[in-house]
């Protein structure tokens, strides 16, 4: 007798990450799908999609053996945590854990130890999979998490277990070897929670954003569909012939969606372990990498690299930049250094899985000059199709599109997180009036492009005026002698706050603080981009600018250690 299952497998067919994993093994089983290079030893590991899929099946069986319990809608499954770099094993966990019903928690290993301990205990992680290189980090927090975590799994390219105080320790490859390479993936509810990503905790304790299979499924499909709307002649499409390298850490907001997008596309995914400048260049050259996504810091590191010209980077066409504004000056310098590829902006946050806004060339702009198009490409951009994004004033009303009025970015859509894990108070702080409130400030120009201005907490309030720091940072980066620049407010008895510019110069530059101010006057004040009173009152030239765990300028750390920068700062009162 035929078992009639309509509408379970039609109207109610679940939107699951499993769909992404199954496609390449059906379509391109014998093609190399995953390339991992150990950045310490230089050894390469290549897997066909079928080989990688079988490993994911073995891992799903391992999770059952480790007593990992699946969840159901509204009730997360056991948390499977990772302390791992960008390796094939981490990519296997990205599918085996959520697709078997557990909840993947990629631990941000760049957080402070206190915050790492907090996120593990708050998430109540049942098992932690960790890389051999991260054993010292895990040992340093072990005593404060061992009562929470039930089991630990050691991942290494070398066989055997280390000599360590960590108990209940298993070896990843040994576990896989004992299991079947066949697994019957369950048809979970699409409302099952798939991942748990914690914020970086720059304004307090990290908060855990939860994402369902459905949310990540729709995020992925909209990101792929977005490529069909692109009119930029220099931009590589997200097609099957691309060769992406995943530089964004997989422990940071789903690696910006790369594990889902590129697995579903069935392209060759290049995993570098972690980023090093020479490793990046070697992989681009050997694997003919076509695209990647980075924070602005990485572009600055490439710009500084003295051996850059020794590599053939001609395959690299598209670099997406997030985690901070892309200054036009930095974009211009790196594209001159590496002809052939185009860098463009984007915006997102942990709570939005992450991408929400991306630089976009409208169809009537296609024949504009490169200089004019580059000005478009460094704007934050337009909302990703499928999301509603508004910039609103303090009354919740949309601001005029005049390229000067500032407001807060608010968002709603299918992949914006529903709530923070075990934190209803913080959820209520961001979700109200039907919108998720980001805390980021932006303006909108006459052509509807959104331009990030600042975090609400970082805007400098001088007298009765507000100074958006990103505007000054982007302008300073235009100077050919500036590698990076950030701007913070310093307490002032008369004005409330005054502006401190912290600048890192390009190698061997002989320029000084006066040169920066003269540049800002010429390119900013004289051209009407800023007013004279916006000029920094203090300028500090430094060797390094503090960064957060995800590569953003760490303004909180700068303000906490303000005296260290004020000692180096020159008073620009003559201007």
CATH code for the domain of 356: 3.40.50.12780
Percent of the chain with pLDDT over 90: 80
Query: Of 158, 152, 130, which is closest to residue 38 (Cα–Cα)?
Result: 158
**Is 470 part of a structural domain of the chain?**
yes
Domain limit, last residue, from 421, 444, 467:
444
Query: What sign does the dihedral 516-561-499-445 (CA atoms) show?
Result: positive
> Residues 6 or more apart from 293 whose CB is under 8 A from it?
246, 247, 248, 256, 258, 319, 320, 321, 322, 346
Q: How far apart are CA 185 and CA 3, in angstroms?
A: 20
**Is 8 part of a structural domain of the chain?**
no
Q: How far apart are CA 159 and CA 449, in angstroms?
A: 53
What pLDDT score was predicted for residue 1? 57
Q: Is the pLDDT of residue 305 over 80?
A: yes
Q: Which of 328-337, 481-490, 525-534 is predicted least confidently?
A: 525-534
Q: Are residues 477 and 371 in the same domain?
A: no
Domain limit, last residue, from 417, 444, 471:
444
Model confidence at 239, pLDDT cuts 50, 70, 90, reads confident
Q: Are residues 470 and 432 in the same domain?
A: no
Q: Is the pLDDT of residue 560 over 70?
A: yes
Please state the rounded mean pLDDT for residues 512-541. Answer: 91
Model confidence at 575, pLDDT cuts 50, 70, 90, reads low
DSSP 256: G
Please state the rounded mean pLDDT for residues 20-27. Answer: 97
What pLDDT score was predicted for residue 534? 85
Furthest CA-CA distance within the chain? 91
Q: Is the pLDDT of residue 457 over 90?
A: no
Q: Are residues 303 and 406 in the same domain?
A: yes
Q: Are residues 217 and 318 in the same domain?
A: yes
Cα Rg of the chain, angstroms: 24
- Per-residue pLDDT reduced to its tens digit, 516-530: 999 999 998 898 888
Please state the rounded mean pLDDT for residues 31-56. Answer: 97
Q: How far apart are CA 498 and CA 462, in angstroms?
A: 6
Q: Are residues 374 and 463 in the same domain?
A: no
What pLDDT score was predicted for residue 460? 82
Please state the rounded mean pLDDT for residues 63-91. Answer: 98
What pLDDT score was predicted for residue 7? 79
How many domains does the chain divide into?
2
CA dihedral (178, 182, 187, 193) in degrees, to 10, reads 40
Q: Is the pLDDT of residue 52 over 60?
A: yes
Q: Which residue has the higher pLDDT, 232 or 416?
A: 416
What pLDDT score was predicted for residue 285? 97
Q: Are residues 417 and 537 in the same domain?
A: no
Q: Which residue has the higher pLDDT, 194 or 11?
A: 194
DSSP 525: I
CB-based contact 322:358 (threshold 8 Å): no
Q: Are residues 126 and 212 in the same domain?
A: yes
Please state the rounded mean pLDDT for residues 541-555. Answer: 87
Measured between its terminal Cα atoms, the distance across the chain in Å is 88
Q: For residue 507, what are the domain limits?
A: 458-571
Q: How many other C-beta atoms lie within 10 A of the C-beta of residue 240?
A: 13
- For the entire predicted model, the pTM comes to 0.88
* Helix ranges restricted to H, 343-479: 370-377, 424-430, 469-476
Q: Which of 71-80, 233-242, 345-354, 503-512 is predicted least confidently?
A: 233-242
Q: What rounded mean pLDDT belongs to the chain?
A: 93
**Is 73 part of a structural domain of the chain?**
yes
**Is 327 part of a structural domain of the chain?**
yes
**Is 6 part of a structural domain of the chain?**
no
CB-based contact 161:169 (threshold 8 Å): yes
CB-based contact 316:281 (threshold 8 Å): no
What pLDDT score was predicted for residue 566? 93
Please state the rounded mean pLDDT for residues 232-261. Answer: 90
CB-based contact 552:323 (threshold 8 Å): yes
**Is 503 part of a structural domain of the chain?**
yes
Q: Are residues 372 and 473 in the same domain?
A: no
Q: Are residues 530 and 431 in the same domain?
A: no
Domain limit, last residue, from 444, 477, 506:
444
What are the C-alpha distances in Å from 215 to residues 10, 70, 119, 199? Answer: 19, 18, 22, 18
Domain holding 527: CATH number? 3.30.300.30
Q: What 3-state class would DSSP assign to 278?
A: helix
């Amino acid at each position: 007798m035929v078992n009639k299952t309509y509408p379970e497998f039609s109207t109610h067919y679940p939107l699951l990450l499993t769909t992404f994993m199954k496609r390449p093994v059906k379509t391109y089983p014998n093609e190399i799908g995953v390339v991992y290079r150990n950045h310490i030893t230089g050894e390469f590991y290549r897997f066909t999609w079928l080989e990688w899929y079988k490993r994911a099946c073995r891992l799903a069986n391992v999770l059952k053996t480790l007593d990992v319990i699946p969840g159901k809608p509204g009730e997360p499954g056991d948390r499977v945590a990772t302390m791992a770099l960008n390796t094939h094993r981490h990519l296997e966990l990205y599918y085996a854990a959520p697709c078997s019903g557990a909840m993947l928690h990629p631990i941000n290993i760049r957080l402070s130890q206190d915050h790492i301990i907090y996120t593990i205990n708050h998430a109540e992680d049942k098992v932690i999979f960790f890389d051999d290189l991260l054993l010292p980090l895990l040992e340093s927090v072990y005593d404060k998490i061992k009562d929470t975590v039930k089991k630990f799994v050691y991942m290494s390219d070398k066989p055997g277990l280390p000599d360590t105080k960590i108990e209940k320790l298993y070896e990843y490859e040994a576990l896989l070897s004992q299991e079947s390479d066949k697994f019957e993936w369950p048809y979970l509810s699409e409302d099952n929670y798939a991942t748990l990503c914690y914020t970086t905790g720059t304004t307090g304790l990290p908060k855990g954003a939860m994402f369902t299979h459905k949310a990540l499924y729709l995020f992925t499909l909209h990101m792929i569909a977005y490529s069909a709307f692109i009119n930029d002649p220099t931009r590589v499409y997200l097609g099957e012939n691309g060769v992406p390298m995943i530089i964004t850490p997989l422990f940071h907001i789903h690696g910006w969606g790369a594990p889902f997008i590129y697995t579903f596309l069935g392209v060759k995914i290049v995993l570098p372990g972690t980023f090093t400048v020479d490793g990046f260049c070697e992989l681009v050259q050997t694997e003919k990498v076509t695209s990647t996504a980075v924070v602005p810091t990485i572009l600055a590191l490439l710009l500084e690299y003295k051996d850059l010209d020794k590599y053939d980077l001609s395959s690299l066409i598209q670099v997406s930049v997030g985690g901070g504004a892309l200054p036009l000056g930095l974009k211009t310098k790196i594209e001159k250094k590496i002809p052939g590829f185009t860098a463009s902006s984007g915006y997102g946050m942990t709570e939005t899985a992450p991408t929400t806004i991306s630089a976009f060339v409208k169809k009537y702009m296609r024949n504009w000059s490169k200089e004019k198009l580059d000005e478009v490409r460094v704007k934050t951009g337009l909302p990703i199709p499928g999301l509603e994004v508004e910039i609103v004033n303090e009354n919740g009303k949309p601001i005029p599109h005049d390229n000067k009025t500032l407001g807060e970015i608010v968002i709603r859509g299918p992949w914006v997180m529903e709530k923070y894990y075990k934190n209803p108070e913080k959820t209520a702080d961001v979700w109200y009036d039907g919108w998720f409130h980001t805390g980021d400030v932006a303006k909108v120009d006459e052509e509807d492009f959104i331009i990030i201005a600042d975090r609400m907490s970082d805007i400098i309030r001088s007298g009765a005026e507000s100074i958006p720091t990103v505007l000054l940072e982007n302008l300073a980066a235009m100077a050919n002698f500036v590698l990076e620049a950030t701007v913070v407010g310093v307490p002032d008895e008369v004005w409330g706050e005054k502006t401190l510019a912290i600048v890192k110069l390009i190698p061997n530059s002989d320029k000084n603080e006066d040169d920066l101010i003269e540049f800002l006057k010429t390119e900013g004040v004289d051209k009407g981009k800023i007013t004279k009173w916006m000029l920094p009152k203090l300028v500090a030239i430094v060797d390094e600018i503090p960064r957060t765990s995800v590569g953003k300028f760490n303004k909180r750390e700068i303000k906490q250690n303000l005296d260290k920068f004020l000692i180096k700062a020159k008073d620009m009162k003559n201007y």
